[in-house]
Amino acid sequence: MTTVRAAVLTAVGAPLEITDIELPEPGPGRVRVRLAAAGVCHSDLSLSNGTMSIPVPAVLGHEGAGTVVSVGEGVTDLAPGAPVVLNWAPSCGSCPACERGEVWLCANAMNGAADVHARTVTGVDLHPGLNVAAFAQETVVPRSCVLPLPDGIPLTDAALLGCAVLTGYGAVHHSARVAPGESVAVFGVGGVGLATLQAARIAGASRIVAVDVSPAKEELARAAGATDYVIASERTARDIRALTGKQGVDVAVECVGRAVTIRTAWESTRRGGRTTVVGIGGKDQLVTFNALEIFHWGRTLSGCVYGNSDPVRDLPVLADHVRAGRLDLASLVTARIGLDGIPAAFENMVAGKGGRALVTF
């Protein structure tokens, strides 16, 4: 056992405790990773407040990158010192979804979240929040939860590839399938929203409208690729139609997970347009439509899990964009913090402030 510092969720709704935990050495098929950085994602907030359920107590954090410290028996393709990105949703390769090639819908991806990952110094068992427990100085994960980091990518910023960028890029390129010349609206300018804006620019979108409640995020949005910025209000759909010849955008990507935002995103698309929902909302967020409008508008509304991405396939593609300067990881980060800064980062997300906070070790 080795003692490391970690952010522990002791119970749903409880504040995170920054405390020492005891981490075991890697067993067969497992890898020990020393974290360089971990992004603070809205999904971590959803886990802490019970919007998404996990076994607790748990070490949160699922968006991370670091270096291999040691490997267990049977791991022959990774060596100590290798830079890696954590993969919080590993596919099993054998369930019906995986056999269809839809690895982002793997039925067994979350099986590891019920495992005992570590213990508190008083002997209480801890689970790995979303499989990888990245809010810690070190973690031990299955080999399937580790992706070798391609050359030429800064290790600290590479943490963002593990969730925000895979999700935002995938929403544009895999789910919505934005074509060159199409118009796009992105609802929510957080970490995933900023990645989505960059992805829309990479896809060759002609007009990219960013929508958020905060005027302070306009500069961030425009730097990421937005051509227009709309402050969210009851007029949002009309404002977007006014920017697009009264038609609406071809594609809307919702990165918030609220019923009113999903509905507004749908209303902001043209007749026959497409809305992709990335945001994770609670069961109480009910979206309603009437049968006539569904027929009349002919729009498509679709969910999007992890950007409909295959991390093994997509990570090298993202790395190419980073090396070529098309994808700027550092610009997604609006705060670099320590473990003790995570609770404040949660509060900022609730208040709609900032983009991505990055825990650096």
Q: Which residue has the higher pLDDT, 351 or 297?
A: 297
CATH class in words for 167-305: alpha beta
Rg of the Cα trace of the chain? 20
Question: What was the pLDDT predicted at 79?
Answer: 95
Which residues, 6+ apart, have CB-to-CB distance to 268 below 8 Å?
Answer: 185, 236, 237, 240, 241, 248, 249, 252
3-state secondary structure of 158: helix
220 confidence band (pLDDT: 50, 70, 90): very high
13 — pLDDT class (breaks 50, 70, 90): confident
- Give the Cα-Cα-Cα angle 258, 262, 263 (nearest 5 degrees): 120
The predicted model gives 49-73 an average pLDDT of 94
Tokens of 215: 């005027």
pLDDT of residue 324: 96
Q: Does domain 2-162+328-360 sit in CATH 3.90.550.10?
A: no
Please tell me the distance from the alpha carbon of residue 63 to that of residue 164, in angstroms, as a whole number: 8
Tens of pLDDT, residues 69-111: 999 999 999 999 999 999 999 999 999 999 999 999 999 999 9
What residues contact residue 291 under an 8 Å CB cut-off, 6+ apart? none
Quick count: other Cβ atoms within 10 Å of Cβ 158? Answer: 27
Q: What DSSP designation does 136 have?
A: B
pTM of the model: 0.94
Mean pLDDT of 161-180: 97
Confidence bin at 353 (pLDDT 50/70/90):
confident
The pLDDT, as a whole number, for residue 68 is: 98
Q: Where are the chain's structural domains?
A: 2-162+328-360, 167-305
pLDDT band with cut points at 50, 70 and 90 for residue 354: confident
**In which band, very low, low, confident or very high, does the pLDDT at 349 lie, cut at 50, 70 and 90?**
confident
Contact criterion met (CB below 8 Å) for 171 and 274? no
**% pLDDT > 70, the chain:** 100
Tell me how far CA of residue 5 lies from CA of 34, 80, 88, 134, 178, in angstroms. Answer: 11, 21, 20, 11, 42
**pLDDT given for residue 73 in this prediction:** 97
* pLDDT above 90 (res 66): yes
Q: What is the pLDDT of residue 54?
A: 87
In the predicted model, what is the mean pLDDT of the chain? 95
Q: What is the C-alpha to C-alpha distance for residues 138 and 140, in angstroms, rounded to an integer?
A: 7
- What does the block give as tokens for 341? 């800064």
pLDDT in tens, 112-158: 988 999 999 999 999 998 999 999 999 999 999 999 999 999 999 99
Contact between 9 and 48 under an 8 Å Cβ cutoff? The reply is yes
DSSP summary character for residue 246: T
Place of tokens 């937005």: 226
CA–CA gap between residue 65 and residue 87 (Å, rounded): 9
211 and 186 in contact (C-beta within 8 Å)?
yes
d(CA 130, CA 57): 12
| SS3 per-residue string spanning 269-288 | EEEEEEEEECCCCCCCCCCC
Position 351 scores a pLDDT of 85
HSE-up (13 A, CA, CB side) for residue 106: 19
The helix, strand and coil proportions of the chain, stated in percent and rounded to the nearest 5, come to 35, 30, 40
Strands 63-71 and 83-86: antiparallel
Q: How confident is the model over 270-320, as pLDDT tens digits?
A: 999 999 999 998 899 999 999 999 999 999 999 999 999 999 999 999 999
**Per-residue confidence (pLDDT) for residue 350, from 0 to 100:** 87
- One-letter amino acid for residue 46 of the chain: S
